[in-house]
Structure 1
Amino acid sequence: MKSQIEEEFSDFYEKWVVQLEEHLRLLLVVSKEKPQEAVCEAVVTKLTAHHKEYYTVKWASAADDVLAFFTPLWLTALENAYLWVTGWKPSMAFRLVESLKKADAGHSAGVGASLAGMTEEQVKRIEGLRVRMKAEEEKVEREMERMQVAMADRKMVELARLERVARKKGDAAAVGQVDEMVNAAVKGLLCGLEKVMKMADCVRLKTLKGVLDVLNPMQSVDFLAANTMLQIQMKKWGEIRDKRCRIDNQENCLLISNH
């Protein structure tokens, strides 16, 4: 059963993805027609604003239920498998740039073709950004590891022992006191998780902004088109896989019941 936050964010995300698909259609048209820079800049601005809206709503929702974003019910199992601290890993953006840079303009259907023409200066700046963002990724991972290890520190182990003893003795007053301490400790852990989530999101946003700052408007359109297409297709592949699993489970249940 979904919590209220999960219900509300699931509804928001479903509508957000529909709008993302509309942005993709526009990106593909612009990528093919290659209009003036002002048109490209307008399309890029709209999509970046769409992504910022996602994080604004995400952070507001996480303030009430941060754990929902570490086990997001609105994503498919395939999407969940590739999550990095509640979202996409920044390093993926640089891998995508590299793939598009090597793409054959004659076989790219207009998407990503202009990245094959990146200048040496652009390549150098992208590499510098990649190194900086990698360092920030590692900082997030260290903080996440610290939070995970905190679950087994002396304080948490002692609370677990105290609660077990109090419940075994049937001491209601002691149980109440321990519950208060446990709630305070868990609240501290959740605040830590929220902090790490926001750190990771900031690296994602800085990576996206950094890449777009290096690319020219037409290159930015091609990069965003490829990135958006990958995100949407990953969701669709995941939905197909989840549907097949549900059908297989139903068939297995029928086989079992018939025997």
Structure 2
Amino acid sequence: MKTQVEESFSEYFEKWVCQLEQLQHQLIKLSQEKAVLQNEAELQALVSRVTSLHKEYYTAKWAAAHQDVLAFFCPVWSSPLEKTFSWLTGWKPSMLFKLLRQARLRNVSEQQLRKIEELRLKTRYEEERVEREMERQQVAMADRKMVELARLTTRVRNGGGAVAEVEGMVDMAIKVMLNGLERVMKAADCVRLKALKGVLDLLSPLQCVEFLAANGMVQIKLRQLERKSSNLIDLN
């Protein structure tokens, strides 16, 4: 049974994906038009709409995670295939640079390539920093759990009656744990947003459209593949 946060965010996510798919069609259309080189204003407007949609997603995500952060570490709205590619509640930032190499953007200069490589290295460093923080949280969770269990066992053995005090300590330990996970999630999201903005800042308007078209296609294809698999299972 879904929690209230899982229920509401699942509905939001489906609507968000529909909006992304609508913009995806426009991205593909513009990226394939040769005359588009003369219409940078239209390109920039579409790029702004896509980036605004992503920002709206993270605003909604952070608000919901503040109520139930655990829902985002095992999201019911994501397919098993999407979860396979997940990194700390979302896509891995370094994935953008692999996609850049595969997208075959037009007219990429040597200067752009150098700056993209610098950004890739910086992003990888920030990923590792977040991963270390997640490891620290996992160690802390294990330590707190063992401490609380030891204290609880001692009280039971001694016939202690301070149940409320023990429950209070457990509640506090859980609260600290959840706050730590929320910080890790936000830190990971910030790396994602910084990497995306950094890439777009280095590209021309047309290159941005081409790149976002390729990036959006990956996200949408993952969901479509999962739907096809589900339909085949249903038919069998």
Asked if Structure 1 and Structure 2 have the same fold, meaning a TM-score greater than 0.5 normalized by the shorter chain, the answer is yes
Correspondence for 1:163 among 152, 172, 190 = 152
Paired residues of 1:91 and 1:130 also in contact (CA < 8 A): yes
Distance 1:186 1:242, change over 3 A: farther
Q: Residue 60 of structure 1 corresponds to which residue in structure 2?
A: 63
Residue in 1 that maps onto 2:213: 225
Give the match for residue 28 of structure 1: 28
Q: CA RMSD in A?
A: 1.7
- Residue 189 of structure 2 aligns with an amino acid whose one-letter code is D
Shift of 1:241: 2.9
Contact 1:40 1:221 in 2 (8 A): yes
Tell me how far apart the structure 1 counterparts of residues 226 and 135 of structure 2 sit (CA, whole Å): 28
**Equivalent residue for 2:97?**
94
User: Which residue among 56, 74, 78 is the counterpart of 2:77?
Assistant: 74
Amino acid at match of 1:232: I
Identity of aligned residues (%): 50
SS at match of 2:142: coil
CA contact under 8 A between 2:88 and 2:188: conserved in structure 1? yes
Question: Would the aligned equivalents of 1:76 and 1:242 in 2 still touch at CA under 8 Å?
Answer: no
TM-score of the aligned structures, taking structure 2 as reference length:
0.93
Shift of 1:174: 2.6
Structure 2 residue 9 is the aligned partner of structure 1 residue 19: no
* 1:160–1:240 Cα change, 3 Å: farther
Give the residue type in structure 1 aligned to 2:116. Answer: I
- Is the alpha carbon distance of 1:167 and 1:83 closer, same or farther for their aligned partners in structure 2, counting shifts above 3 Å? farther
> How far has the Cα of 1:175 moved from its partner?
2.7
| Number of residue pairs aligned between Structure 1 and Structure 2 | 233
Q: Distance in 2 between matches of 1:240 and 1:175?
A: 52
Q: 1:181 to 1:91 in 2, by over 3 A?
A: same
User: Structure 2: which 5+ runs fail to align?
Assistant: none
Q: Distance in 2 between matches of 1:29 and 1:240?
A: 25
Report the TM-score when normalising by structure 1. 0.85
Map 1:1-259 onto structure 2 (within 5 A).
1-34=1-34, 35=36, 36-101=39-104, 115-153=105-143, 155-166=144-155, 173-244=161-232, 247=234
Q: 2:57 is aligned with what amino acid?
A: Y
